C-alpha cells in the first residue's frame, strides 16, 4: 500500500483510573503500532468533561502521524446519545472510513464505516454471577451481540474467546482474527539481591519467602480458594512461606477481607494493594510460586508475566489459560481446592519440576511480543479497505 490510510481509534478505554488488562492491552498495542507504522494516519477519539489527558495519550501525540480529537461532553450524556440517539457518528467526527474499538463500549457509526473491534472475553455471558447488577445492566445496554454482528472484523486475544464468539454469538469464523497480545519486554528474572529489589521489598513489605497471587481482587479471580488452600497447606504440611496477595480491590472484596481476618494464618497473609508496573518484575521474580486459579480469562496476563520472570506458575485448566501458559505451568481445576493445595505443595517442593518449568516458561513467554502483535494488527487494519 503506497499511500497511508486514515484510521480512527476509540481511546476512551484509557480514561479509566484503574489499570486492568483492557487498559494495559490498549496502551501497549497502540504504542507498538505507532512505533512501527509511520505511514498511516491515526485519529484518536477521546472524551472527557473535566479530567486531564491520560499519560498514554500525551505520549501518543508525540508520534508525527497520530492526531488527537478530544471532546468534552459528560460521559453519561455521550453514552446516552450514542445508545439512544445513535448520534454522533464517531467515524464522521473523525472523518475516517475505518474505526477501531479496543474494547466493548457505547458506539455509533455510519453505514459506510468499517468497524474493527477487539473482544477480550465473554465472561459476562459465561459467568454473569461474577458481575454486579450495574455491570450486567451495562452489558445489556452496550449489546455486545449487536456490536459483533455489525463489526467488519473482530479481533480476539485467544482461541478460547474466538470459540466463545462462534458458539454463543454465532459469529462467522472468517470474520474473527485471533491475535495474541504481548507482554512487556523488560519482564525477565530480576536480581533479588540488588539494592533496587531491597527498596521494592521494603515498599511492599515483602517477606523473605512467599507465594504470590496478583490480580483484581474479585470473585472471578478465585482469590478465596487460594486463601483456603493456603490455610490447609500451612496446617497439614511443613510449609513456612507467607502468602502475598497483590492487586486492586474489586467487587465483593470485603468477603475476601473477612476470610483473611478469620483465618488462623492471618498474620502470614499479606495484602499489598496495587503494584506499579515498574515493580512487577521484582515481585514476580522473588516469589517461589505464583498462583492464578481464575474461573475464566480471555487471555490472562499475570501467569505469562510470571513465567517470563522465571517463577513457577499454577493456574486454571479452563478457558484461555492453557493457551497462554502451554506446558510450562501446573494446571488445576479451579473448583477443586484440594487439588490446588496439592499443586501448591508440589510447586514449592519439587525442585526438578521447578527447574524444568523455569526453562520452558521463559521460552513460552517469549511467544508473546508486542512488536509481533502490532505488525499482525497493522495488516488487519489495512486489509479493512
CATH number of 110's domain: 3.40.50.2000
144 and 225 within one domain:
no
Confidence of residue 21 (pLDDT cuts 50, 70, 90): confident
24 and 164 within one domain:
yes
- How many domains does the structure of the chain reveal? 2
Looking at the domain assignment, is residue 1 inside a domain?
no
Looking at the domain assignment, is residue 246 inside a domain?
yes
83 and 148 within one domain:
yes
374 and 358 within one domain:
no
Looking at the domain assignment, is residue 25 inside a domain?
yes
Looking at the domain assignment, is residue 187 inside a domain?
no
pTM: predicted TM-score of the whole model, two decimal places: 0.94
Range of 359's domain? Answer: 195-365
**24-35 tens-digit pLDDT:** 999 999 999 999
Query: Average pLDDT in the 127-152 region?
Result: 96
Confidence of residue 13 (pLDDT cuts 50, 70, 90): very high
317 and 200 within one domain:
yes
292 and 345 within one domain:
yes
Query: Average pLDDT in the 215-243 region?
Result: 95
Looking at the domain assignment, is residue 43 inside a domain?
yes
Confidence of residue 52 (pLDDT cuts 50, 70, 90): confident
241 and 133 within one domain:
no
Instruction: Look at residue 2 in the predicted model and tell me its pLDDT.
Output: 53
210 and 173 within one domain:
no
Instruction: Look at residue 354 in the predicted model and tell me its pLDDT.
Output: 96
**293-336 tens-digit pLDDT:** 999 999 999 999 999 999 999 999 999 999 999 999 999 999 99
Looking at the domain assignment, is residue 228 inside a domain?
yes
CA 323 to chain centroid, in Å, comes to 15
Looking at the domain assignment, is residue 361 inside a domain?
yes
208 and 150 within one domain:
no
Instruction: Look at residue 385 in the predicted model and tell me its pLDDT.
Output: 79
176 and 55 within one domain:
yes
Amino acid at each position: 500500500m503506497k499511500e497511508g490510510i486514515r484510521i480512527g481509534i476509540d481511546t476512551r478505554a484509557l480514561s479509566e483510573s484503574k489499570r486492568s488488562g483492557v487498559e494495559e492491552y490498549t496502551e501497549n498495542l497502540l504504542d507498538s503500532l505507532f512505533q512501527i507504522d509511520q505511514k498511516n494516519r491515526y485519529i484518536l477519539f477521546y472524551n472527557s468533561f473535566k479530567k486531564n489527558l491520560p499519560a498514554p495519550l500525551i505520549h501518543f501525540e508525540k508520534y508525527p502521524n497520530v492526531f488527537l480529537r478530544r471532546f468534552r461532553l459528560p460521559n453519561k450524556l455521550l453514552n446516552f446519545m450514542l445508545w439512544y440517539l445513535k448520534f454522533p457518528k464517531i467515524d464522521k467526527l473523525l472523518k475516517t472510513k475505518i474505526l477501531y474499538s479496543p474494547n466493548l463500549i457505547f458506539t455509533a457509526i455510519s453505514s459506510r464505516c468499517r468497524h474493527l473491534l477487539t473482544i477480550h472475553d465473554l465472561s459476562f455471558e459465561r459467568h454473569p454471577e461474577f458481575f454486579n447488577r450495574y455491570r450486567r445492566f451495562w452489558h445489556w445496554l452496550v449489546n455486545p451481540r449487536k456490536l459483533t454482528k455489525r463489526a467488519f472484523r473482530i479481533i480476539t486475544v485467544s482461541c478460547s474467546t474466538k470459540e466463545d464468539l462462534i458458539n454463543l454469538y454465532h459469529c462467522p469464523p472468517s470474520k474473527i482474527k485471533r491475535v495474541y497480545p504481548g507482554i512487556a519486554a523488560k519482564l525477565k528474572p530480576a536480581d533479588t539481591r540488588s539494592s533496587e529489589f531491597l527498596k521494592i521489598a521494603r515498599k511492599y513489605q515483602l517477606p523473605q519467602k512467599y507465594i504470590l497471587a496478583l490480580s483484581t481482587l474479585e470473585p472471578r479471580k478465585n482469590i478465596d480458594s487460594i486463601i483456603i488452600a493456603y490455610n490447609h497447606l500451612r496446617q497439614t504440611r511443613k510449609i513456612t512461606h507467607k502468602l502475598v496477595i497483590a492487586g486492586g480491590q474489586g467487587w465483593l472484596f470485603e468477603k475476601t477481607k473477612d476470610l483473611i481476618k478469620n483465618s488462623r494464618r492471618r498474620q502470614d497473609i499479606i495484602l499489598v494493594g496495587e503494584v506499579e508496573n515498574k515493580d512487577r518484575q521484582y515481585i514476580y521474580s522473588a516469589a517461589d510460586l505464583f498462583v492464578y486459579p481464575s474461573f475464566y480469562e480471555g487471555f490472562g496476563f499475570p501467569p505469562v508475566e510470571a513465567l517470563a520472570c522465571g517463577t513457577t506458575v499454577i493456574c486454571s485448566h479452563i478457558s484461555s489459560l492453557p493457551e497462554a501458559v502451554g506446558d510450562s505451568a501446573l494446571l488445576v481445576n479451579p473448583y477443586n481446592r484440594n487439588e490446588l493445595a496439592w499443586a501448591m505443595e508440589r510447586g514449592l517442593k519439587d525442585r526438578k519440576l521447578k527447574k524444568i518449568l523455569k526453562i520452558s516458561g521463559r521460552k513460552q513467554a517469549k511467544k508473546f511480543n508486542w512488536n509481533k502483535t502490532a505488525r499482525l494488527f497493522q495488516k488487519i487494519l489495512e486489509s479493512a479497505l
